């Protein structure tokens, strides 16, 4: 039987609760696709990308928790291996959504920086976890 560490169990619980926000985003995306929410093509593409990244990264984040517990990583490295991908899901999605918010927007605003912060967290989390698995 698989036993999660307390840290992984806590993060998994929080991540699973965020799935409701991803679901809400999906219903909003359906409104966009049906033309009930006026948006530019740029905004539609960023809404799709934000929703897709959220769903995929939440799933990957849950897998990473199980793998992190197999590494024996502790301290900051253990935290990064467990939380890097779930945090990337938050920041990358926020970057897509918040940088395209507004009326008739055709290019990202300064909040696109959140996307890059999320990308950095994703890279740091998976590299830390990958190295942790290879050296365990």
Residue 115 lies in a domain: yes
Interval 42-91: pLDDT, tens: 999 999 999 999 999 999 999 999 999 999 899 999 999 999 999 999 99
Q: pTM above 0.85?
A: yes
Per the structure, how many domains does the chain have?
A: 1
Residue 1 lies in a domain: no
> Which percentage of the chain shows pLDDT scores above 70?
99
Interatomic CA distance for residues 12 and 18, integer angstroms: 10
In this structure, the number of other CB atoms found within 10 A of the CB of residue 30 comes to 11
> Which percentage of the chain shows pLDDT scores above 90?
91
Q: What range defines the domain where residue 129 resides?
A: 6-135
Residue 71 lies in a domain: yes
Quick check: 22 and 58 in contact, CB under 8 A?
A: yes
Residue 29 lies in a domain: yes
Res 63: pLDDT: 97
Residue 65 lies in a domain: yes
Q: Of 33, 117, 108, 40, which is closest to residue 25 (Cα–Cα)?
A: 33
Residue 118 lies in a domain: yes
């Amino acid at each position: 039987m698989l036993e999660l560490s307390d840290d992984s169990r806590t993060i998994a619980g929080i991540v699973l609760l965020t799935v409701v926000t991803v679901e809400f985003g999906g219903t909003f995306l359906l409104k966009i696709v049906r033309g009930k929410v006026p948006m530019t093509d740029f905004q539609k593409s960023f809404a799709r990308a934000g929703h897709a990244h959220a769903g995929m990264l939440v799933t990957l984040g849950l897998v990473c928790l199980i793998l992190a517990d197999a590494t024996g990583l502790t301290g900051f490295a253990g935290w990064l291996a467990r939380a890097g991908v779930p945090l990337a899901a938050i920041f990358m999605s926020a970057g897509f959504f918040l940088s395209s918010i507004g009326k008739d927007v055709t290019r990202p605003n300064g909040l696109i920086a959140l996307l890059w912060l999320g990308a950095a967290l994703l890279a740091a989390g998976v590299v830390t976890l990958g190295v942790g698995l290879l050296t365990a």
